[in-house]
Structure 1
């Protein structure tokens, strides 16, 4: 007959019904007189009890199962598979070694319980009936597997991830967090001065220190780029002589400037290959008019629904080749429903190209005046300047030229200059249009654009210019000064 003291040290599971729950713990005391059992390290429904010693009365106990007996706890290894039932004769209900209830056997202590892990269900003693039942299930599953032709090696490999999970996650939280991490102590183990001294000793320059390197790093605002925004430099156009000025496209291509004499020979060579002067004038006039139309507002300003608010343009032309380019631009603007007024002074001698362009312009609805006083006194949207000549700088001294300059300054309209000379212009422009390759221009010409005349590559090669078109898909591109 077993006495109550023989159960002290055993691990038991006590079922007290659905209200009180199921308790698990180590037996520390068995009261024969008052019919009680006391547990330490107790769990209730899988959660660690807050009290150190829990006492249960025999009245509340419905079933008591021994998980590990006191003899097994003292021995180095337990005897598994014993079929003998230990029964308490000290007034307690009989003790059985049946398997744990689902609530007690399947529940895993959580992190909030902060308790040591209980023995797994694999160590629980089982009855011979259950063992034989498990053997029958295993034999049936094994025979089924053999009939299906699945190797046992594949079944073993499928169980490997579960084994790895058990090895990784079966350790209880309380076993890991036994004490709080001492941050101050571990921080004191790091000798910052010694580490910096070691880094500084490895620098190539003895006078250079790591702290000084950190101080040299510039501070950037939120709208500044950390990397330097330096445009890429590509040279696909080279002139035979060193250029006086260089320009850049939006994509970083270098466009060298050429002298006026070299450009004159370039246009003469193009004329020799078939690109005649009228065709060159047409290219310049069309590019200038297209640029002016965009500056006037493009499709938002010029459309059939807005015919009652036609934009107004004043085109100022001189008696030379640049004047003929301005007349060609005025003709294209008039054909696009722009209210154009053109000024050409009453000169004694007019070149043939200018006269031919004037004959075409007279076929449009544009207005031609020879006196600046006859120009409209109302406001204009844009002024196109084609007064200046590359060959005659003395035009600035003419009385009609000064009158035109005064009239232009009295109006606040923006000025577009067509092919301005390198020596400068009297009328300050906001935009300027150069042709073929740019000349070294002054700052008074404003923002510079380059017009494609469609010169063949052989024309450039003949004059010793290495040329690859920078225009891409456009006929007019903006240029940026390198200064």
Structure 2
């Protein structure tokens, strides 16, 4: 009994002592919190004194003024100032001699037509200023590949998840004219993007006759593109696009139709449902009916969309001195693209 009584007393004393210690700790924390609050309040009071006299000084301070000057954020394509410097000059390309035909871009810019003599002079001027034939072929091939990708549906067709349905393109190239080099160069660039390319060249042709053709074929062979001289080896379907670098200005339909391989190619293209891009075609468009035509530099006067389909202009990247050499005032109509559509005026 006595032992139980003493044990209960000791337990009660321990509980009382623990309660006292808890109270002391809690009171200490309360005092600490109060001290901290006082420090914060003192600091806040010292830093921000919201007296009526101080409010006016804050309102007139440079800090508030700088915050009031902050404007809304815009995307890079929205930071465009409106043109208010008078009327826009839509005839930014002017020839020394007035032209008989003009074309219009989608933006309304006027692109004058030139004759074949002036075009040859421009090419000669470009070579004089350092733009070699190889550089021109590369620029034309790059532009043709850009247009081809645009017509195929842009980057969506080349996504990894769409690898099972990558496009197929047939390239027709002559081995005696620069149009063939344009087409081969475009085929090589497209083949480097894992697009299936079939390159057709006429049988019994000698590629070593022209060094620029031989160089382009050598570069094309570094890709997985297929080269053939037999029409029967070309794919029947599906073919997404045909690049025609076979018809050239120096060829006539009567001369080409006398060759069996050309008649076979014309029949092959007519059976397919694929769109055809003529790369720098002759004025009459050739025997292979095309939906689009891509021409370099400036369009020819005698060109008509009735013969060559919808006309697109290719940017070769020539500097203004190339044009100034022939008294031509030139400003690029291409904007951010490497090609623009032209419409008959």
- Flag whether TM exceeds 0.5 (same fold): yes
Alignment correspondent of 1:338:
195
TM score, norm. by length of structure 2: 0.70
Counterparts of 1:88-99 in structure 2, within 5 Å, are none
Higher gyration radius (CA): 1
Counterparts of 1:42-441 in structure 2, within 5 Å, are 234-319=90-175, 320-350=177-207, 351-393=210-252, 394-439=255-300, 440-441=302-303
For CA contacts below 8 A with separation 6 or more, give which structure has more relative contact order: 2
Counterparts of 1:457-472 in structure 2, within 5 Å, are 457-472=320-335
Q: How far apart in 2 are the matches of 1:270 and 1:465?
A: 13
Count of equivalent residues: 251
Alignment correspondent of 2:7:
none
Q: CA distance change for structure 1 residues 241 and 426 in 2, over 3 Å: closer, same or farther?
A: farther
How far apart are 1:467 and its partner, in Å? 1.2
CA contact (8 A) 2:284 2:308 kept: no
The alignment's C-alpha RMSD in Å is 1.6
Higher helix share: 2
How far apart are 1:347 and its partner, in Å? 4.0
How far apart are 1:398 and its partner, in Å? 2.8
Q: Which runs of 4+ in 1 moved over 6 A?
A: none
Alignment correspondent of 2:310:
447
Alignment correspondent of 2:34:
none
Q: Secondary structure at the match of 1:365?
A: coil
Q: Secondary structure at the match of 2:158?
A: coil
CA contact (8 A) 1:405 1:427 kept: yes
How far apart are 1:322 and its partner, in Å? 0.1
CA contact (8 A) 1:312 1:382 kept: yes
How far apart are 1:464 and its partner, in Å? 2.4
1:307-360 residue CA offsets vs partner (Å, 9 max, x unmatched):
111111111111221001000000011011111101011244432111110000
How far apart are 1:392 and its partner, in Å? 2.7
How far apart are 1:235 and its partner, in Å? 1.2
TM score, norm. by length of structure 1: 0.50
Gap regions ≥5 residues in structure 1: 1-231
CA contact (8 A) 1:233 1:254 kept: no
1:265-316 residue CA offsets vs partner (Å, 9 max, x unmatched):
1111101111111111000001100110111111211111211111111111
CA contact (8 A) 1:233 1:252 kept: no
Q: Secondary structure at the match of 1:473?
A: coil
